[in-house]
Copies of this chain bind each other. A is one copy, B any other.
């Protein structure tokens, strides 16, 4: 079989790919199969536009015709932006600011090194512009990887706090789709609940044994499914928790998954009165609460059980755990909704949140 590409850009982050031996395995495989490649490492969390631009230049000068991203969400997001930028004359940031629309992209393959962000199956790239101090996502089906290697054995050496953060991240991708006011969602309700139950059953097994192949297979498959779009089909999605957390990681540079583990339960408590039935269903079908007619009680029980689950994974439960006080909350709340720029757009689907609501959630989370 002929190789898919003549010249590959191998894109990755820091030294862990080399320490783990994955770098060597990939480059040996490329050489053995006679596939030429250039490489670009150095992707950092919140992947930078400057590196994306360097990657675009490299693809052009080297005639790259396929990108191979080896890493987690940041590496894959950076690779998506390069894949798009390499096929257009416009500066790649124009797409993120909405001044250009992608017409093509280089094919992108992935070797996943941590299940969390779901970028290996999603059509989204989020890039940080360090000069403009902006972090913006671009959504286009051309960015979806055509193939992703999701091999449990590559996850055996991940530290437990990264596993836990990843679990919170993948669960959040399901929550953002699951909690909705849309009616007649039998199938996707059931799919979301199946994925959440799978994660909740298997994540503790990884805390006991990071080399549990079967638990990793269940977790990684769930994470990939969480963000490929299927679970949100026909549902109004929410995404308020992500927007609220995003300010936290932007201002305090905390891990996205850890921030979500704090914010999500407080968000749930703040909004659940608007659709207690949905939260009662969550309590029974996902968190194992016994059926009851007390819908509000069930809703509260589901949230309490989720908090207990996050704690069991060693995830933080309050912003105090990060040493965050309330100093920046109003600034962050106004940034989250756009009120800071005089262009407020309420967050969320299940309940619309203005900046005052967001501020209240930050305050509750301390």
| Interfacial residues, chain A to chain B (CB-CB below 8 A) | 183-184, 186-187, 189-191, 193-195, 197-198, 201-202, 214, 217-218, 221-222, 225, 230, 233-234
Q: Is the CB of A193 within 8 A of B190?
A: yes
Known: A193-B194, A217-B234. A201 touches B186 (CB 8 A): yes
A188 nearest in chain B by CB position: B221
Can you spell out 7 A-B residue pairs with CB atoms less than 8 angstroms apart? A184-B214, A186-B201, A187-B194, A187-B221, A191-B191, A191-B194, A193-B194
Q: Is the CB of A187 within 8 A of B222?
A: yes
Interface of A is mostly: helix
Pick the residue among B184, B193, B218 that contacts A218 (CB under 8 A): B184
The distance from the CB of A171 to the nearest CB of chain B, in whole angstroms, is 14
In whole angstroms, what is the CA distance A218 to B235 when docked?
Answer: 13
User: Across the interface, which residues of B come within 8 angstroms of A187, CB to CB?
Assistant: 194-195, 198, 218, 221-222, 225
A285 nearest in chain B by CB position: B194
Q: Which of A184, A187, A214 has the most CB of B within 10 A?
A: A187
In whole angstroms, what is the CA distance A214 to B234 when docked?
Answer: 11
Q: Is the CB of B184 within 8 A of A190?
A: no
User: Across the interface, which residues of B come within 8 angstroms of A218, CB to CB?
Assistant: 184, 186-187
User: Across the interface, which residues of B come within 8 angstroms of A186, CB to CB?
Assistant: 197-198, 201-202, 218
User: Across the interface, which residues of B come within 8 angstroms of A221, CB to CB?
Assistant: 187, 233-234
Q: Is the CB of B190 within 8 A of A195?
A: yes
User: Across the interface, which residues of B come within 8 angstroms of A202, CB to CB?
Assistant: 186
A214 nearest in chain B by CB position: B184
Q: A187-B194, A187-B198, A191-B195 are in contact. List 11 more A-B contacts (CB 8 A).
A: A184-B217, A186-B197, A186-B198, A186-B202, A187-B221, A187-B222, A187-B225, A190-B190, A190-B193, A190-B194, A194-B194
User: Across the interface, which residues of B come within 8 angstroms of A233, CB to CB?
Assistant: 221
The distance from the CB of A261 to the nearest CB of chain B, in whole angstroms, is 22
User: Across the interface, which residues of B come within 8 angstroms of A194, CB to CB?
Assistant: 187, 189-191, 193-194
